């Protein structure tokens, strides 16, 4: 993936601060364009889905399927 990260402008940080997304306008907060997110969304879902499955995977073997009959 080759998404382009960019740094904020003063007005963007003011809006984020007003929304409670950052503490001050001097915070370092890299941003990404929405079109890059949309372009790479299938890959992001795949990668994040694998991470979620690995973290929720039960390695103790105690979880079993319930019988239906």
Which residues, including other chains, have CB under 8 Å from residue 8's CB and lie 6 or more apart?
Answer: 16, 29, 31
Q: Quote the Cα angle for 27-29-32, to 5°.
A: 160
What is the pLDDT, as a whole number, of residue 4?
82
What is the pLDDT confidence band of residue 39, given thresholds at 50, 70 and 90?
very high
CA distance 58 to 53: 10
Q: Is 26 a member of any domain? A: yes
Q: Is 12 a member of any domain? A: yes
Q: Is 59 a member of any domain? A: no
| Chain mean pLDDT for the chain | 82
pTM of this prediction?
0.48
Provide the domain count of the chain: 1
Within 13 Å and on the Cβ side, how many CA atoms surround 28?
A: 1
Percent of the chain with pLDDT over 70: 83
Q: 41 is in which domain, residue-wise?
A: 5-53
Q: Is 10 a member of any domain? A: yes
Instruction: Give how far Cα 56 sits from Cα of 32, 35, 44, Å.
Output: 29, 31, 18
Q: Is 58 a member of any domain? A: no
């Amino acid at each position: 993936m080759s998404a382009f990260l960019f740094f904020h402008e003063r007005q963007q940080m003011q809006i984020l601060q007003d929304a409670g997304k950052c503490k001050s306008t001097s915070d370092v907060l890299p941003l990404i364009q929405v079109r890059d997110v949309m372009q790479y969304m299938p890959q992001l879902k795949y990668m994040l889905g694998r991470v979620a499955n690995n973290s929720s995977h039960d390695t103790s073997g105690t979880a079993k399927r319930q019988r239906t009959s």
